[in-house]
Chain A
Amino acid sequence: MHDDDPSTDVDRRLRAALRPPEDRVRALIAGALSAGPDSRPQRRRPRVVAVAAAAALIALAVALRWGTAPPPAPHRRRTPADLEISGTSSLIVVTRADGSRFVFGPSTGSPVRGEYVIAFPPSER
């Protein structure tokens, strides 16, 4: 204590009252010097084991949860529609992938006998 704070009567009285017995000091020193390198970790081992067990339990729970979950649905690739439907006034035009078209429209009544119906062949793209 070589600084600018001299010891006072209070300090001396306190020190005298708290001064430990010699035999207790000797026992303390002997005990401290006999402390092996494993003395502290041994005392902490139960806590480490508990933490490890809790972590393992959580990992197991997570693994089980993921194991029972349904597999993710396979990604389905969109394919272009085989048919394309469009409309013009009262006509509906259906176009197939190969380019052929079908035209639907309202019935125009029975054709007059003796007349012809003209059918258009599928147009080429």
Chain B
Amino acid sequence: MIAEVAPRLLAYATGRTGCRSTAEDVAQDALSALVVRWRRLGPPESPEAFVFAIARRRAARAAARRALLMPLDAVVAIRSGASAIDTYERRTELREVIRAMAHLRKSDRDLLLLRAAGELPLDQIAKITRTSVAAVKMRLHRARARLSQLMQE
């Protein structure tokens, strides 16, 4: 379960914080919390909702701290072990996506990341964000339309 959720969690945290190294800290914290909870009290009702809810809180804190120090898209870590061209392309793409997402509403950006990067089902997203499934769907639709428009500009 950990191996399955880890890449999605890391992708989500990267989108939230705009920084790979901060995202790794956030994802590490959330996954460690899940492992500790699992060992002490058994699995939570929904391990995915548990771990993403923690990552969401930690990412919000980390992003707020980081915003005080540097612009959101100033730092994108270089992918280790990849070719220079691949790294450059990925970094450029990531920078563009992050820049476009910065124009979305914070809550819409969060929903889109939970859905696209976290690959969570709608009911889990509704649970994490404490809203209804219908509201999640509506806001996802709006966020996608806006992001699509921003990416074409």
Instruction: Look across to chain B and name the residue whose beta carbon is closest to the beta carbon of A9.
Output: B148
Contact A2–B10 (Cβ < 8 Å): no
> In the complex the two chains form, is B27's CB within 8 Å of A35's CB?
no
- Least Cβ–Cβ distance between A31 and chain B, in angstroms: 5
Complex alpha-carbon distance, A28 and B116, angstroms: 20
Which residues of chain A have C-beta atoms less than 8 A from B35's C-beta? Answer: 32-33, 35
Measured between alpha carbons, how far is A5 from B143 in the docked complex, in Å? 13
Known: A7-B116, A28-B24, A40-B36. Is A20-B11 also a contact (CB below 8 A)? yes
Task: Indicate with 1 or 0, residue by residue over A1-40, a CB within 8 angstroms of chain B CB atoms.
Answer: 1110101111111111111110111011101110111011
Contact (Cβ within 8 A) B31 A15: no
Q: Does A18 lie within 8 Å of B36, measured CB to CB?
A: no
Q: In the complex, A33 Cα to B34 Cα: how many Å?
A: 10
* C-alpha gap A39/B3 in the complex (Å): 20
Contacts of B137 in A (CB 8 A): 5
| CB-defined contacts of A31 to chain B, threshold 8 Å | 28, 31-32
With an 8 A cutoff between CB atoms, is B73 at the interface? no
Chain A count of residues within 8 A CB distance of the other chain: 33
Determine the residue in chain A with the shortest Cβ distance to B34: A32
Q: How far is the CB of A63 from chain B (nearest CB, A)?
A: 37
- CB-based contact B117/A28 at 8 Å: no
**CB pair A10 B121 closer than 8 Å:** no
Output the nearest chain B residue to A15 by Cβ-Cβ distance: B116
Closest-by-CB residue of B relative to A43 is B29
- Report the separation of the CA atoms of residues A19 and B94 in the bound assembly, to the nearest whole angstrom: 9
Least CB distance from B38 to A in Å reads 10
Least Cβ distance of A117 to chain B in Å?
104
Q: State how many angstroms separate the Cβ of A45 from the closest Cβ of chain B.
A: 15
Q: Are A1 and B120 in contact (CB under 8 A)?
A: yes
Encode contact with A along B74-115: 1 for CB under 8 Å, 0 otherwise: 000001111000000010011011000100000000001101
Task: Give B11-32 as 1s and 0s: 1 = Cβ < 8 Å from A's Cβ atoms.
Answer: 1101100001001100110011
Q: Are B36 and A39 in contact (CB under 8 A)?
A: yes
Q: Chain A residues in contact with chain B, CB under 8 A?
A: 1-3, 5, 7-21, 23-25, 27-29, 31-33, 35-37, 39-40
Q: Which residues of B contact A (CB under 8 A)?
A: 2-3, 6-7, 9-12, 14-15, 20, 23-24, 27-28, 31-36, 39-40, 79-82, 90, 93-94, 96-97, 101, 112-113, 115-117, 119-123, 137, 140, 144, 147-148, 151
For the complex with contacts A1-B119, A1-B121, A29-B31, 9 further pairs of A-B residues with Cβ separation under 8 Å are: A14-B147, A20-B7, A24-B20, A24-B80, A28-B27, A33-B2, A35-B32, A36-B36, A37-B40
